Structure 1
């Protein structure tokens, strides 16, 4: 009786699942066919319904029909995806697992009639093989398993190769920074993220061990924190100290060899800020010495204006020197940009405020002469550029809150006194003299929120620019916005005037601002050494330009792209494409993915309902698929370059986003956030007050929260900067920390945070969505070592020499709010055991 009940239960489950799945696939498949998509789902639904009917009638032909479905699914999957396991798995997992159930004795036996069992018994008695009604199904399941195993040993997403050998050390331009130190965000003002240390090599990196682990005590989740509260810092290493800042703006000095805290400074940043981001990517350093001012500059001819004090009082900004210990005369200085719009100068020796900076206040007020001044509307998340005599600073402006935002002005201050030397307003590019009291910069001009670079020998600072707000509508932009939006702008260090500019996007409607620090490197073309600039972009281009003139060193082609912007706007006829590009292939219905047939089907349906004609499809009221999305193929982490190999180590990320324009009838209604009105002082993001449209922005994901596009979503890659050749490219990272179960499937996950290269031929990266720091062979991309992190490592590692002579690699693990990685407050140092050096 129990066996009969088990058979009936199993048969009932198989029947019910076939009926349910068949109905879903038929209905969804019919919808997909009407949209012009694949016929597979509707056909599979019909076969499942036929199977369910035959199971209900207890006919063994049900197994034959289902065997046909398995074979049909395998052929379709291989046709669409080739031997790529994860796309095959999404297409066949439900079909295969249900097939296993149907091949069990509990389902098969009830389908065999008594006379058929007797016939099989007689056949066996006379030595003839017995007929088994599940044989075709078992054969089909074996076929599926064979294809699966074959796909496990094939990796169609990897490209193998080897970068050229490293040149002799004498071929690399010398730096004034000691080899064992790290004085700027990218180690030097050139932003290469390259350490000349070679103690750690591909042969011994597997012996790295944790040496010390420091916790800052600064965790996200405090009242008023925006969603993007992140720990993104790359520490500086100067002398025997490490210097870093935390998301809530504390500045900390550590002993670089032991990790012990030396001092801590709290700038008393104002709370309740209307912030979109709360982070500090790093500090800046000036070693002291030199003279105030810049020869020939006009800034020192101006007396300090009363405007800054009035603005400071109106915004109730703190004064650094009021509630802190002061050093009256600082030689060397650390500079800390704050979330409430200040730059504070600190004594690196003890963390005291420099009393000789900012007319005794110890700070520069970035709200001076700023239009639409409201605390949180303008601030710096990135470290300032510090040259021999200047501090050069940009700032972030809220992207999609309103059309009335502060200016995106770039300013240079005297590194010793904090007095304003020049200001570059994109709307008045030729007049860089400091403004008179009462004057304001032009509102809502393109801003620069990322990291700047500088070449003091050429006398230029290189500025990666964003857009004038809002990002997804440009119908109201003027000449200045069109000229400098999403561009690299080279400014004269002495005067602030434009030396050259290069637009990476024409009339940007996709939030493709230039997100990463320009990287400066000397390259060899036709036997001649050329000072170059390497610029990664969100859309996947890596532009290689002559940094003297902005002329392309690798070819740049203007390519036609989709037209037809929203009413009141327009699109550019062409967009620039570099010979070195990580632009992914366009998405198709076959590119859609999911954990099961069903969410994949839903993704296919949504794909066909959205407007998508490839890269640069304009935003629309219908909803536009933006790929690559505004998360970027590359973001603020940028790339690392190897001057010895003249190569780049890159971390491409591929995620699609959806952008939908919502027509606005007034300038007050919350069209996007609606009932989810932000609490406290947080801004109403994406409402675009004053523009014709609000915008809904989201990742292109299924109802299960998984990306609708098939993996891989993240890679590491190596490319030759002189030829533009992509030499190797491998998927990188697992879904261990992104899935309900901690399964370490190596699917290739997104990365946020940059890599670092060392002269030992090893690169380090910690920014993947799984909580690991990894080491790679720079020449081939082979993973050599990894260590588990206590939280998300969305920051850029760095390397230096400790007092004990060992080469250290330091990683920050603090997580990222909008990515949902685990929050933390860890700073971790790794080194080889003493005996291994």
Structure 2
């Protein structure tokens, strides 16, 4: 009994001490009272008084009532509040226990009833929204872009970015028959010297009988679409650079034969040369004049043009198939600028944007968007949000604006309207707004429509005013015509990190679904300001404001620590400004939606998405603070220096001492909404904890993830993305999971689908893991078909 008494006393002391701290911060008194009760129980156990059982029964009963009051009939919040106390009750109930007298019956009754309540809550899903989307076609002949049904020629299948294929062989009735047809391993794996965020995020293209995909270190791989047989591999020989925040490639772009002819002489561009160390030989084939071209962006800021048939460099493009994207940059720090997303090829142009490192320095490369002749590489126009009116090709001795807002996600385009749509990010430093010009304020955290011929901005719709939270517009806009009371309107659907999904008229930028403004919290560092209101869309997945009662953990102990952290942070709801104190940012900068975006069905007028809910913290560190002085730029998490600014910044996910989210689950869902009305018809928890814990328990918690979905004409959506290593299929109309397949590495990429040469529907996923998310690392390309037989696999 001595050991049991000590356990009760130690746990009680921890809860009492933490409970006093929490009470001082204005939090719940429960932990203080529970700690005192456990200490008293421990003392009574040592004196062998039967009152210990009665006191503990009262504590357990009170805790059960408090837990139900705080969290409702919800397994995971109840389990973290009741689990430890239910376990501690068992020694007090064991036969032979000298304390086991009549009071033990009272304790047993409370223990049994509490246990039944807890276990029965497993069968109830408090977070599930049940419903059904349209089952019939609303638009009988939708605009799917110019990609043939059997192909996938752009990142989102076409430049419309719908991630929808009309192929309908796979249906809810037969999707369970999907089997692995072939697999291929690229050989490009994360190495010990790589940065943390080395990731496989690529979606392959399918053109004729070939697949084309890129790897994290910018290899371009060509495979036979039927068998997965390797056709050729081009290695861009990208050197390692610890200053990059990302080592990834989301895809390549394609110029069809005969498209984009130009009368301009090759090499007539006025681009100046930027000095760099040579990367070394990259391919054994001699360059050639190309008819069709593949464009590969690299993480050392080059754009390469390659022959789809052989992988040879295209001598007609720029400098022997290589364009240096650092030209005319105001600052050229190694690793500060590169393209992670494929450029968009449209109207004879290849239009390139790039990623600028967040929070590394106030003086960084420009976020300029540049259109080059797709055949010659000649600069046709440049649009810089820091100097938006001057779009004529920059002169040789001039430079673009410093650190202007960039566009790191994928763009979309409507050639009939003559517009290209870019999701815009923010100016670095992301959490400090004092360095921004009026033009940068106008175009940050928005979507902008640029004229394909001139590069001039035709319209802009902003989603965050004076963004202090790194709420970049993260995903490719989806172009889908929307049926409204006024008739069919050319629509554009944009998901955002803060959870709102905007449905706009893509010709004018005007909202199809209403956009309002809501009051926003105020109070910033000296010299800065917070916008008084922020936009909100009629279609929104924004979470309810977080409460102290939403804190979570494996037990009462770490849950209390999370509550102390919550009460210590500044938090007044969505858009609470960053602070020296430390601010809770929810939704966090990981986003409700990120680069994986959503998939839309233009026939049924619906969307399928994967909303995610994880809080982050943001702390501004004054320059004279020792932490700021020691900042060495740790990527997207940790302390980054903001060199030249008065504050460094520390960004972290909001985690418990055990490394799990402080907020209670679910953290990840799949959801379906009607694009005409903005109504969310269904939403279900998605993913299990199988790969999150030492014990491989396949409990459907609703887990985080990053990646994107696709929808097929058969009414099936495909998605991997979650932190458990599974590839899944869902019925679009109601979200029911229909199929899942264990995969050998993390599936943090968006899948795609096509018809092989035998007319069979294939579904392909790149599975290589995500370095910063922590999923299993690999280098797999996996292809599935109905009744598939594994053939042509290359290990």
Name the TM-score class by shorter chain: over 0.9
1:447 matched to 2:401 = no
8 Å Cα contact 1:799/1:809 also seen in 2? yes
Q: 1:154, CA displacement in angstroms?
A: 1.3
Q: 1:305, CA displacement in angstroms?
A: 2.1
Task: Give 1:741's match in structure 2, choosing from 688, 695, 718.
Answer: 695
Partner deviation per Cα, 1:158-205 (whole Å, 9 max, x = no partner): 000000113178432254322111000000001000011111100011
1:185 matched to 2:155 = yes
8 Å Cα contact 2:637/2:652 also seen in 1? no
Q: 1:290, CA displacement in angstroms?
A: 3.5
Equivalence map 1:342-381=2 (5 Å): 342-359=302-319, 361-381=320-340
Task: Give 2:231's match in structure 1, choosing from 251, 254, 262.
Answer: 262
8 Å Cα contact 1:315/1:375 also seen in 2? no
Equivalence map 1:168-179=2 (5 Å): 170-173=140-143, 175-179=145-149
C-alpha distance in structure 2 between counterparts of 1:403 and 1:706, whole Å: 33
8 Å Cα contact 2:620/2:647 also seen in 1? yes
How many pairs were matched up? 789
C-alpha distance in structure 1 between counterparts of 2:633 and 2:453, whole Å: 46
Q: 1:348, CA displacement in angstroms?
A: 0.5
Q: 1:634, CA displacement in angstroms?
A: 0.5
Q: 1:631, CA displacement in angstroms?
A: 0.5
C-alpha distance in structure 2 between counterparts of 1:716 and 1:41, whole Å: 35
8 Å Cα contact 1:324/1:353 also seen in 2? no
Label 1:323 to 1:78 Cα distance change in 2 as closer, same or farther (>3 A): closer
Match of 1:663 in 2: 622
Match of 2:277 in 1: 316
C-alpha distance in structure 1 between counterparts of 2:229 and 2:681, whole Å: 42
8 Å Cα contact 1:353/1:362 also seen in 2? yes
Partner deviation per Cα, 1:587-622 (whole Å, 9 max, x = no partner): 111000000000000000110010000000000000
Instruction: Give the 3-state SS of the residue equivalent to 1:77 in structure 2.
Output: helix
C-alpha distance in structure 1 between counterparts of 2:788 and 2:243, whole Å: 49
Match of 2:596 in 1: 637
C-alpha distance in structure 1 between counterparts of 2:377 and 2:53, whole Å: 81
Equivalence map 1:572-721=2 (5 Å): 572-665=531-624, 671=628, 674=631, 686-721=640-675
Partner deviation per Cα, 1:401-435 (whole Å, 9 max, x = no partner): 00000111000000111111000111221211111
Partner deviation per Cα, 1:439-461 (whole Å, 9 max, x = no partner): 11111100011101100010000
Label 1:756 to 1:27 Cα distance change in 2 as closer, same or farther (>3 A): same
Structure 1 stretch displaced more, 366-375 or 558-567: 366-375
Match of 2:506 in 1: 547
Q: 1:817, CA displacement in angstroms?
A: 0.9
8 Å Cα contact 1:392/1:411 also seen in 2? yes
Label 1:252 to 1:546 Cα distance change in 2 as closer, same or farther (>3 A): same
C-alpha distance in structure 2 between counterparts of 1:683 and 1:47, whole Å: 40
Q: 1:326, CA displacement in angstroms?
A: 3.4
Task: Give 2:709's match in structure 1, choosing from 755, 769, 787.
Answer: 755
Q: TM-score, normalised by structure 2?
A: 0.96
Match of 1:417 in 2: 376
Match of 1:45 in 2: 35
The CA RMSD measured in Å over matched residues stands at 2.0
C-alpha distance in structure 1 between counterparts of 2:376 and 2:242, whole Å: 28
1:486 matched to 2:445 = yes
8 Å Cα contact 1:319/1:363 also seen in 2? no
Label 1:357 to 1:604 Cα distance change in 2 as closer, same or farther (>3 A): same
Partner deviation per Cα, 1:236-294 (whole Å, 9 max, x = no partner): 01111110000011100001111110111112223336211010000001112145359
1:305 matched to 2:265 = no
Q: TM-score, normalised by structure 1?
A: 0.92
Match of 1:94 in 2: 84
Match of 2:300 in 1: 340
Instruction: Provide structure 1 residue ranges, at least 5 long, that are not aligned to the other structure.
Output: 1-10, 113-130
Label 1:84 to 1:527 Cα distance change in 2 as closer, same or farther (>3 A): same
Label 1:497 to 1:624 Cα distance change in 2 as closer, same or farther (>3 A): same
Match of 1:68 in 2: 58
8 Å Cα contact 1:634/1:651 also seen in 2? yes
Partner deviation per Cα, 1:111-169 (whole Å, 9 max, x = no partner): 26xxxxxxxxxxxxxxxxxx733110110011112211331121110000000113178
Match of 1:521 in 2: 480
C-alpha distance in structure 2 between counterparts of 1:40 and 1:377, whole Å: 49
8 Å Cα contact 2:139/2:483 also seen in 1? no
Match of 2:46 in 1: 56
8 Å Cα contact 1:735/1:744 also seen in 2? yes
Task: Give 1:217's match in structure 2, choosing from 181, 187, 190.
Answer: 187
Label 1:725 to 1:39 Cα distance change in 2 as closer, same or farther (>3 A): same
Instruction: Give the 3-state SS of the residue equivalent to 2:695 in structure 1.
Output: coil
1:231 matched to 2:213 = no
1:246 matched to 2:215 = yes
8 Å Cα contact 2:607/2:675 also seen in 1? yes
Instruction: Give the 3-state SS of the residue equivalent to 1:794 in structure 2.
Output: coil
Q: 1:670, CA displacement in angstroms?
A: 6.4
Which of these two proteins has the greater Rg computed from alpha carbons?
1
Instruction: Give the 3-state SS of the residue equivalent to 1:542 in structure 2.
Output: strand
Match of 1:153 in 2: 123
Q: 1:713, CA displacement in angstroms?
A: 0.3
C-alpha distance in structure 2 between counterparts of 1:341 and 1:490, whole Å: 24
Q: 1:340, CA displacement in angstroms?
A: 1.0
Label 1:178 to 1:39 Cα distance change in 2 as closer, same or farther (>3 A): same
8 Å Cα contact 1:14/1:102 also seen in 2? no
Structure 1 stretch displaced more, 737-746 or 756-765: 737-746
